[in-house]
Chain A
Amino acid sequence: MSVLKKCFHVKKRDFISAGEASINIQNILKSMQIDPKLIRRIAICGYEGEMNVVMHGGDGMVCAEINTDNIVLDISDNGPGIEDIRLAMQKGYSTATDEYREMGFGAGMGLPNMEKNADLFTIESEKGKGTRVRMVFHMRR
């Protein structure tokens, strides 16, 4: 049963608001007194996912669903999609432009960081349609 679900709209190249969805989610989790270690992992995953939408994805949504036994981050966009997911998941692989690299992005660590910090990680992508990353974090009691 979902206790709370919140979604935030993320727009392509909107660097002014970039990160705010993740900050909002972090504030919600803090107010619900979720384990700080879990919040830190979710913050990493949320931020990386949000920045992927801003830089590559077109318009998208970052949703957090807080359930009694887990938290789900669901990040989707209607961007160009990922041609080769296996390649995209490799540490160090990035399609970031020079502009983004100069800003300190494009290290090819985003998706691997997300996979590492989530208990369950799934990614689906279709060329020309978009990408959806779903991450589940178990609550520890």
Chain B
Amino acid sequence: MTVQDLVNRFNLYVAAGQQGLDRQVRGGYSGDLLSEVMANAPEGCVWLTVQGHQNIVAVAVLKQMAAIILTGGQTPDDETQQKANQEGIPLLLWSDSAFELAGLLHAAGVQNSESATA
């Protein structure tokens, strides 16, 4: 499953990082504390967060994530979009809660191969 597949299926808005839409999605993670995400998010995941500032892009690059999804109607800062474009990390927007989207993603087969916090 690619990021583009998720965009199509859940009607996610692509705010930046179009060039990374062909990335493979290999799991999911949800969190807003950057150190906790840095420590535990699995490689290749889509990351659900309410943080819209530019430092989320570095976290996504370093964790080799597939995409960042801003939930709860949050919008990214301009600098965040620029950085996401620069790094080729898709930055997607979802207007409902992270809980709702996580449930939909999980049901659609986005699951982690091993426990993320193991």
Which residues of A pack against B, CB within 8 Å? 15-16, 18-20, 22-23, 26, 40, 43-44, 46-48, 51, 103-105, 107, 109-110, 113
Contact = CB atoms under 8 A, between A and B. Distances in A.
A104 B58 contact: no
Residue of B35, B37, B87 ringed by the most chain A CB atoms within 10 A? B35
Interface string B38-69: 11000100000101011101110111100000
Interface residues of B, number: 23
Contacts of B38: 44, 47-48, 113
B36 interface: yes
B79 interface: yes
Contacts of A22: 58, 62
B45 to A, nearest CB: 13
Closest 6 CB pairs of A and B: A19-B58, A109-B35, A43-B62, A104-B34, A107-B33, A107-B35
Contacts of B53: 15, 103
B96 interface: no
B5 interface: no
B89 to A, nearest CB: 11
11 contacts: A16-B54, A18-B55, A22-B58, A40-B43, A40-B63, A43-B62, A47-B38, A103-B34, A104-B37, A105-B35, A107-B35
